[in-house]
Structure 1
Amino acid sequence: MKKYLYALLYLTVGVMVAVFVCYLNAIVLSVWRYLIEGIIYFFAGALLRTNKRIYKGAFALPIFIILLFFGIIYNEASGWTKLERCLEMVFIGGSFFVLPYSFSHKKYILSASVVALQSLFILKISPELQYKLLKSMEVNNDNLEKSDISTLMYQAEFLNIDSLPVSIPKSYLKDKNLLIDFWYIKCSPCLRKMVPLAAVKMRIGKTGTGEVILINDGSIDSFSTFKKAVSGLPKNLQYLYDVNGKLTKSVNVTGYPYEIVLHRGEVVRKLVGFNKGETDDLYIDEVLEMLNNKK
């Protein structure tokens, strides 16, 4: 009887850990998520260093089932995200099974190999998979021609943060590469994206070949809300308020953030959405390549 009570206790703890890991998947950047998961699994494996498989099974089984079904099978995420979750179970899950064993038996080469594989997954494989997910969010450019975007931008009404009417210079469409990002205040991916966009702006500032403009949807946010929010955002970016959301509606923004990249007025990319911060470096490098293109 006592054995089954202990098994039930381990089962309960396993369910709690699985639920916590699912929560981490939803809110925490991958690098920190994986580190936290690895630490949890390692200490759990160390505490469950016993020959009684029923206890280890009772702890590990709910984690495996919950992550498998809710994180992969019954998850509407893309194939890239599901692949990342599968690899996560293999690489990070090794902290539970392999690391405590290798430490206790002084098999340090095995320990180092596991940590090296986990580091490779966290620092290289996961960001690459997440960036492939981001790239899959690109949408067809065919319905927005060069003449359309130029006309629409000149017809729209913009205000800067000083409440002054402004227009996008014609030189931006004729001679430069331009990244326009549509956003609104309560869009957390929009605000997250401003961090890499500020880094892009800083690095292209001296070349003069590209510009970054963030356009707030005036059909969602009031001007006073926009002005107050901008005061806490990166200072090196150019923020415009789209009065009544006229341009936003005209280009048929289907989600936020909504990015349009133009090369001398010609649309070369449209991207809907933005994912977590592990892809920032890959995103920055690709955008810089587009905005520094002089051909």
Structure 2
Amino acid sequence: MGPDAFIPGFRLADIDVGGGITIRVAHAGEGPPLLLLHGHPQTHVTWRKIAPALAGRFSVVCPDLRGYGDSSKPEGAKDHSTYSKRAMAADQVAVMRAFGHETFRMVGHDRGGRVGHRLALDFPEALEKLVLFDIAPTATMYARTDKDFASRYFWWFFLIQEAPLPERMILGDVEFYLREHVERQNKISGATEEAVFQEYLRCYRSPEGVHAVCEDYRAAATIDLEHDAADADRWVECPLLALWGARGVVGRTYDVLETWREKAREVSGRAVDCGHTLQEEAPEETLRELLAFL
């Protein structure tokens, strides 16, 4: 495929990962392989401010998660396993193997970070280092939910409602919902340029896209918790860097480093002066932290 319209120097490709699933990726660079996974409601375009610099040192692969961007958006299963983080992690291992990378380093923001946590447990031999942006472990966040968290992160509880309730409500005014979501989470004005927001909207607004998002969150509240409970005695073995927004909900609600020290053997990290989307709101500071760790 041709060059990426949003990330200079990157080219697009569609990778068949099996099971009828195709993953859209942007890729560039040479050196140690590095996987960048976006969160909700973004796509791989969220890495546009830091990916070119990373590609100067790494072989960078930026996929759209299944259900997002221009990747496949299959119908959800009754047990939501189609969008389990286990299935999504397996997608990404297949993507990296398609590029010839058996081992790699990884950065995950938001949902991508949750995929990264599962990938570290299911494919420990593949992961050399893991960076997580603005998340605490899923099971921890659900277990410690209070009124303040539920009010600030209402979509964790709205999107998990039985289909088609949230799908129908979002599709009533997709642009309003998406803009409100992005603007509430970003604390640095203008961090998501209008052209980029419109790209996120293009990928989000189809019925299949909205359903996929809901299934992602439904999986997080059901089958992902089952998988986490089954692996409660397992650790993330690779070095883990946790970064979070000092102005965001996660950092103000949890001791982020402590939550990850309950899950991983080697944890470091700190807050960055921004909201939820570090790579868009504080790209220079975020890039410095990544280069130092990776």
Q: TM-score, normalised by structure 2?
A: 0.22
Greater per-residue helix proportion: 1
Q: Select the structure of larger CA radius of gyration.
A: 1
Q: TM-score, normalised by structure 1?
A: 0.22
